[in-house]
Amino acid sequence: MYGEAVALGAGTVLNALATGVGSAFALDAETTAWVELDDSGVVEGAIAGAPDGDTRLIRRCVERVVDRFGDGHGGHVRTESDVPMAAGLKSSSAAANATVLATLSALDVPVGDGADAVLDREAACRIGVAAARDAGVTVTGAFDDASASMLGGVTVTDNTADDLLAREPVDWDALVWTPAERALSADADVARCERVAPMADLVADLALDGRYAEAMTVNGLAFSAALGFPTDPAVEAMPHAEGVSLSGTGPSVVAVGDRDELERVRDHWTQREGDTWLTTTRTDGARVIE
Ligand SMILES: Nc1ncnc2c1ncn2[C@@H]1O[C@H](COP(=O)(O)OP(=O)(O)O)[C@@H](O)[C@H]1O
Ligand SMILES: O=C(O)C1=C[C@@H](OP(=O)(O)O)[C@@H](O)[C@H](O)C1
């Protein structure tokens, strides 16, 4: 009983830590999960390149799928990822979505919009969100990030009700800067984020109006200030990018817009320590590998 699936990392339009409403867009950065189920009743996990990595999330994803669709199975889950962990680029959502889809595949449960499908990808995504809450790796459940990773494009969600408010395909080039430091979402200063709630409401209005790029720039200024991250990378990008923001609870910064213009931003950002890379948005989302 074997399954394999891929899900995507994402960047932030609106951080949900202020009001519970959030927005994110899928990036071309993939996490793959391999799941092998057996009759042991115990789930073990491993993360490629991180022998001491916290596997609670992916083990809990397997357990939740097995509880609903399996028969007391245990087994083994392993992930391998292009998405740096705890850098604001939604590694947890990508790992959860890939693991949920791989486990469903191992149990031969069809997912999607087809006539034989038992659940659609949005429902599969909610299983990963529940597992993230169980594992304590999230503040709001992060349905914003999880839905972007699972469905592709940009999504706007209300994480207090796991409600999908909007979803649109977006076709942008994106520039990502990831410094070496790491910031676990679960350790974020939520009270500081709540202080910028009026700005978060404005960002939500802009996003629901389809003005995603401007929305993310306002988000970046507000949440960089709230969480104590520098705004210099955003100010360097603003003359060239359509939008730029601190992603999630940081420390990564993502700019979107025209490739030629983003290459000019790259000239600034590569002078900083850390990794800077050009990528694109993705509209296809997560998938099972048959
Ligand atoms: N590739 C992965 N495989 C398994 N678990 C992962 C993976 N990536 C992230 N996680 C889980 O998610 C946690 C990080 O979540 P979080 O702080 O929200 O970072 P991010 O913003 O990248 O989602 C990790 O401590 C780990 O529990
Ligand atoms: O844990 C959470 O509830 C969230 C964490 C943040 O993302 P990161 O995990 O990328 O820091 C934030 O952007 C998101 O809207 C909600």
Q: What is the pLDDT of residue 120?
A: 97
Per residue in 216-254, pLDDT (tens digit) is 999 999 999 999 999 999 999 999 999 999 999 999 999
Q: How many domains does the chain have?
A: 1
| Domain CATH number, residue 67 | 3.30.230.120
Per residue in 111-133, pLDDT (tens digit) is 999 999 999 999 999 999 999 99
Rounded-to-10 torsion of CA 129, 144, 279, 269: -110
Pocket-forming residues, ligand 1, beta carbon under 6 Å: 31, 47, 54-58, 79, 81, 85-93, 95, 137, 184-185, 248
Overall average pLDDT of the 71-100 stretch: 97
Q: How far is the CA of 66 from the centre of ligand 1 (A)?
A: 21
- What is the domain range of residue 239? 1-290
pLDDT classification of 162: cutoffs 50, 70, 90? very high
pLDDT classification of 36: cutoffs 50, 70, 90? very high
pLDDT classification of 209: cutoffs 50, 70, 90? very high
Q: How far is the CA of 205 from the centre of ligand 1 (A)?
A: 29
ipTM: 0.99
Q: Which residue has the tokens 């404005």?
A: 202
**Percent of the chain clearing pLDDT 90 (strictly above):** 99
Q: What is the pLDDT of residue 235?
A: 98
Nearest CA to 88 out of 206, 188, 158 is that of: 188
SS3 (DSSP) at 90: coil
DSSP state of 50: -
Q: What is the pLDDT of residue 250?
A: 96
Q: What angle do CA 196, 197, 203 make, to 5 degrees?
A: 95
Provide the pairing of β-strand 43-47 with 74-81: parallel
Pocket-forming residues, ligand 2, beta carbon under 6 Å: 12, 15-17, 22, 88, 90, 138-142, 144-145, 185, 248-249
